[in-house]
C-alpha cells in the first residue's frame, strides 16, 4: 500500500464548460472525499486521489467523489457524470488536468468534449488585485523589448496595449473594425475599449496563472485612460508606478523603419509613425507629467545600450520581483534581445 507524505494542500478550482453533456459543466472544488485505497493501491488524502489533486462538484450533485481525478491504472485524467459514470478522459501524466489539449469522449460521455480551465483562486469570489507598473514611451522606445525581458527573466507578466488591440482586430470581434480605424488614423482607441480589455485580461491571467505582477506596456495613453482605470479598478487602489522610456525622435524613427521589414504591421511606416508620435505628444505626455507630479514616474533614457537600460528596469522592478527570478541566468532569447548574441537570420529582433 502506497501512502502520500503530507502533500501540499489542493487550493485550485476547475471550471468545465462546453460539454456535450451539460450536466458535466460547472465548477469543481478541492475534493473532501475521505481517505480510501484506490484501484492502484494508493491511499487518498483530502484534495487528492492516486497521488494527484482531485475535485468534487461545487454543487454537491455528483454521486462520485472525487468527480475529477487521476487514474494510475489508465494513466489518464477523468471527469464523471452526475451518476458517477465516467464521461470524459485524457491520457496524460500532467500534475493537473490538461487545459491546452482536447479531451476524449468516454463511454458514457456525449460529444463534444468540454473545455477545462484551472483557477488559482475561487472564481466565486472577487479576483485579487494585481500589482501593476505602467510602461510608457514613444513608438520604438524599447517598451516591448524591455517588457519581454522582464517577463522571461524576472517573472513579470507583460501586457502590451498594442498587442491586445491587434489581437482583438484579428479576432474579428464587435470592436475590431473600430480598432482598425483608430490604428490607421494613428489615434487612441476609446477609453472603454482599452480599460475593459486590460481589466478582463489581467483578471483571467491572475486567476489561471496565479501571477499578480503586470507590466502594462503602452497604458495609460491619456488622462482619460487613467480616469477609466481608476473607475474600473477602484480609486482606493494605489496609483501604480510608471516607467517612462525617453528617447529622441530620430532614434525612434530609425528603429521603427528598421523593424518594419520584419513586423508586417500596417502602422510601421513614416506617415503612421508621425501620426503616432504627434498623438503621443498631445495625449500621452500630459499623463507622464501627471505621474511626475505625483512622484510616481521613473524616467529611463532608452537611447543607451540595451544592457544598461535593462539593468535600470530590473532595479526599479526589484521591489516586487521574486528573488528566484532575479538570480536566473539569461536565456538565449534574452541574450539576443540584449545584443549579446546575434539573432538567427530567420528570427526577427523584437
Q: Could you tell me the mean pLDDT of each successive run of 10 residues in the chain, 350 residues long?
A: 63 97 97 81 85 96 94 95 96 96 95 97 93 94 95 96 88 85 82 89 94 94 91 82 94 84 69 83 93 97 96 95 88 94 71
Supply the DSSP string of 150-196, one letter for each residue.
HHHHH-PEEEEHHHHHHHHHHHT-TTHHHHHHHHHHT-PPPHHHHHH
**Was 251 annotated as part of a binding site?**
no
**Was 183 annotated as part of a binding site?**
no
* CA gap 124, 104 in Å, rounded: 28
| Omega before residue 112 within 30° of 0, cis | yes
Write the CB contacts of 254 (distance below 8 Å, at least 6 apart in sequence): 140
For residue 297, list its beta bridge partners: 242
**Was 221 annotated as part of a binding site?**
yes
End-to-end CA distance of the chain: give it in Å, rounded: 54
**Was 245 annotated as part of a binding site?**
no
- What pLDDT score does 350 carry? 54
**Was 78 annotated as part of a binding site?**
no
- What pLDDT score does 278 carry? 86
Q: What is the total residue count of the chain?
A: 350
- What pLDDT score does 2 carry? 43
- What pLDDT score does 37 carry? 79
**Was 169 annotated as part of a binding site?**
no
**Was 265 annotated as part of a binding site?**
yes
- What pLDDT score does 265 carry? 67
**Was 287 annotated as part of a binding site?**
no
The residue among 215, 159, 170, 165 whose CA lies nearest residue 188 is: 165
Structural domains of the chain ordered from first start: 13-119 (no CATH), 131-338 (3.40.50.300)
**Was 255 annotated as part of a binding site?**
no
**Was 170 annotated as part of a binding site?**
no
Are the beta carbons of 81 and 24 closer than 8 angstroms?
yes
- pTM of the prediction? 0.82
**Was 219 annotated as part of a binding site?**
yes
Amino acid at each position: 500500500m502506497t501512502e502520500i507524505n503530507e502533500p501540499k494542500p489542493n487550493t485550485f478550482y476547475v471550471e468545465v464548460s462546453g460539454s456535450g453533456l451539460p450536466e458535466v459543466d460547472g465548477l469543481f472544488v478541492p475534493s473532501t472525499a475521505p481517505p480510501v485505497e484506490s484501484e492502484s493501491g494508493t491511499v487518498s488524502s483530502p484534495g487528492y486521489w492516486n497521488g494527484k489533486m482531485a475535485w468534487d462538484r461545487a454543487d454537491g450533485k455528483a454521486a462520485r467523489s472525487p468527480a475529477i481525478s487521476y487514474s494510475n491504472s489508465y494513466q489518464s485524467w477523468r471527469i464523471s457524470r452526475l451518476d458517477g459514470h465516467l464521461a470524459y478522459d485524457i491520457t496524460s501524466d500532467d500534475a493537473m488536468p490538461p487545459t491546452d489539449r482536447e479531451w476524449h469522449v468516454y463511454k458514457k460521455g456525449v460529444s463534444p468534449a468540454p473545455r477545462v480551465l484551472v483557477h488559482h483562486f475561487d472564481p466565486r469570489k472577487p479576483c485579487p488585485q494585481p500589482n501593476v507598473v505602467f510602461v510608457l514611451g514613444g513608438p520604438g522606445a524599447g517598451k516591448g523589448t524591455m517588457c519581454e525581458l522582464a517577463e522571461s527573466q524576472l517573472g513579470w507578466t507583460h501586457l502590451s496595449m498594442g498587442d491586445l488591440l491587434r489581437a482583438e482586430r484579428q479576432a474579428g470581434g464587435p470592436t475590431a473594425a473600430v480598432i482598425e480605424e483608430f490604428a490607421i488614423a494613428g489615434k487612441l482607441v476609446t477609453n472603454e475599449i482599452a480599460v475593459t480589455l486590460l481589466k478582463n485580461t489581467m483578471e483571467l491571467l491572475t486567476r489561471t496563472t496565479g501571477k499578480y505582477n503586470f507590466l502594462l506596456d503602452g497604458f495609460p495613453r491619456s488622462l482619460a485612460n487613467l480616469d477609466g482605470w481608476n473607475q474600473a479598478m477602484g480609486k482606493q487602489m494605489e496609483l501604480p508606478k510608471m516607467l517612462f522610456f525617453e528617447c529622441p525622435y530620430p532614434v525612434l524613427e530609425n528603429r521603427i523603419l528598421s523593424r518594419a521589414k520584419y513586423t508586417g504591421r500596417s502602422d510601421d511606416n513614416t506617415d503612421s509613425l508621425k501620426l503616432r508620435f504627434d498623438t503621443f505628444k498631445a495625449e500621452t505626455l500630459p499623463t507622464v507629467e501627471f505621474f511626475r507630479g505625483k512622484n510616481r514616474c521613473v524616467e529611463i533614457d532608452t537611447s543607451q545600450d540595451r544592457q544598461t537600460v535593462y539593468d535600470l528596469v530590473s532595479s526599479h522592478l526589484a521591489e516586487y520581483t521574486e528573488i528566484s527570478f532575479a538570480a536566473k541566468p539569461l536565456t538565449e532569447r534574452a541574450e539576443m534581445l540584449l545584443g549579446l548574441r546575434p539573432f538567427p537570420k530567420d528570427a526577427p529582433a523584437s
